[in-house]
Structure 1
C-alpha cells in the first residue's frame, strides 16, 4: 500500500459516485486510481473530469472492473446488489478492501458477501455516517430497557428516486431494536401496511417509508406506549456525510484480515 491509498469508485456517474470522487480528490489522504461504470454507459472511454463538467483529469472511465481493481488498495461501492456481489468477488481476487454502501440486498446477496468475506476484507453498512451508527447503538439500548408495552416504529424518509424500501438504515435500526429485545427481526417485522390490517400485534417492530423530493435521509425510531412516546432521530442534510464515512472505512480497513466489518468496527463503537 502506498502512503496515500489508491481508491477505485464504482458507479462513478451517480450521486454518491460523484461525491466520493470529489472527496477523494480533495482529501489529501487518498488518491483516485480509477472509476468504473456499467457497460454501455455513455461515460465509458471518456475523461472523468470532462464528464463531471470540469477540466480533463487523466482518469478514463472504464467498464473493466477487474483491470481497475488491480493494484488498488480499496474499492468504494454504492451501486446495486447484483453489481456489488460481482465487485466483491473481483475485489477479493485483487486483494483490495471492498467498502459497500449499497443497500437493498436480499438473503442470497448477503450470503454471497459473507462467503466472499472469508477471503476478502469487506466493510459493509446500510449507512456510513457517524450519527446514524450512534443512533443504532442508542436504539439497541432503549429497546433493551423498555418492554413490549412500548410499540416500536422505524420511520424513514428519502428522495423520490430511491428504489428500495425500507431503507438499509431503517433495517439497521430495526435489527438493533430487535437485538435489544432479544428477538429475531424476521419474526416481528411489520411493514407495507395497507387496507384493513387489524390491530397492531404486540411486540412487532414496524416500518414506515416516505419518498419525496430531494430528501437526503431522515430516520426516526419511535417508542410509543399509552401516555408517552420516546423519539430518537437522525437527519442528514448533505450526503457528503456518507462519502466521508466510506472513505474513513476504506482507510481504516487497510491491513485488516479477511472478514466482514461494519461501521461500528470502524468507529470503535
Structure 2
C-alpha cells in the first residue's frame, strides 16, 4: 500500500481524495493536513469527508504527517513549493494539482526533480481533459492557423481565478502547435466596438455560475465549417481518480518532473 498524505483534506477536492483513498486497493491514508486556523483540526478526516472514520486526524503539522508516508497529494493554493520541498526531503513523491502555479514555482519543481524528487504537476488531473489536450494539439497541427480558435470555460460561482488553468493550457497547446505566443496572441473577452476579429488571436472566455465542476470547449472555425472539442466534468472524482493514478505512477518512476501526459502515456 502507498501511504499517502492529503494536503487540504477538508476542502472540496480534499474530501473526495480522502474518500477515494479509503476505497482504494493500492493507496492508504497516512495523513490529512489543513491550514493552522482550520476549524477541522483534530477531527477525523474520514468523518469530515463523509465516508466514515479513517483513523487519521486532520492536523496542521505537515512535517509530522509525512513521517512514514510515501506520497503527498496537494490541491491547495498556498505554500505549494514549500510543501513539495518538505515532501521531497522526507522521501515522499508529490502530486500537485494546483492550477495557479507560476513560472517560478515550476522552476523550483524542476530543481527539486534534479535533486532526486519525484513530482507530477498538472493543470488538470482528469484523464479526459488530458486526452483533450492531445486532441487539441493534433487538431491545431492538422487544421493550421487559417482556422479561428475560441476557448470557453465555465466553473462554479466560487472559483477565484479566471481563466482556469485548464483553459490556459488549452490555449498554450494551440500556441505551441502554431509557434504563437500566449501573452501576445490570447485575447481575454471582448467588449464594445472592437472591430472584426483578427486572424492572429485566440479568444478566451470565462463563465461562472451555479455548481458547475468544469466545462471546457475549444472551437476551430473557418468559413463553411466549425469543429468543437469539449470536455465536461460532472464530478470532482474525475480529477481525484487521475491524481491517484499519478501517485501509483510515481511509486515506480525515476526521479523527475512529470505531468499527466506522462502518467497516461500520451506523449
- Kindly indicate whether residue 138 of structure 2 is the aligned counterpart of residue 141 of structure 1: yes
**Which whole-Å deviations, capped at 9, do the CAs of 1:230-257 have from their partners, x for residues lacking one?**
1011111111111000001001111422
Partner of 1:117, secondary structure, is helix
Give the C-alpha shift of residue 60 in structure 1: 1.2
Q: Is the 8 A contact 1:142 1:180 kept in 2?
A: no
Partner of 2:253: helix, strand, or coil? coil
Give the unaligned 5+ runs of structure 1: none
85, 90, 97: which is aligned to 1:94? 90
The equivalent residue for 1:229 is 226
Q: 1: distance between equivalents of 2:51 and 2:244?
A: 23
Q: 2:38 aligns with which of 38, 41, 48?
A: 41
User: Can you give the 5+ residue segments of structure 2 that lack an aligned partner in the other structure?
Assistant: none
Distance 1:53 1:250, change over 3 A: closer
**Residue 104 (str. 1) matches residue 100 (str. 2):** yes
- Residues 52 and 234 of structure 1: CA distance in aligned 2, closer, same or farther (over 3 Å): closer
Distance 1:106 1:170 in 2: 15
1:48-127 alignment runs, 5 A limit: 48-53=45-50, 55-80=52-77, 82-119=78-115, 120-127=117-124
TM-score normalised by L of structure 1: 0.93
For residues 241 and 174 of structure 2, the distance between their equivalents in structure 1, rounded to whole angstroms, comes to 26
Q: 2:160 aligns with which of 159, 163, 166?
A: 163
Aligned to 1:246: 243
Superposed CA offset, 1:200-220 (max 9, x none): 332212211111100011110
Q: Is 1:259 matched with 2:259? A: no
Distance 2:263 2:50 in 1: 33
- Match of 1:189? 186
User: Partner of 1:31: helix, strand, or coil?
Assistant: strand
Give the aligned partner of residue 174 of structure 2. 177
Aligned length: 265
CA-based RMSD of the aligned residues comes to 1.6
TM-score for the superposition, normalised by structure 2: 0.93
Structure 2 CA distance for aligned equivalents of residues 55 and 26 of structure 1: 11
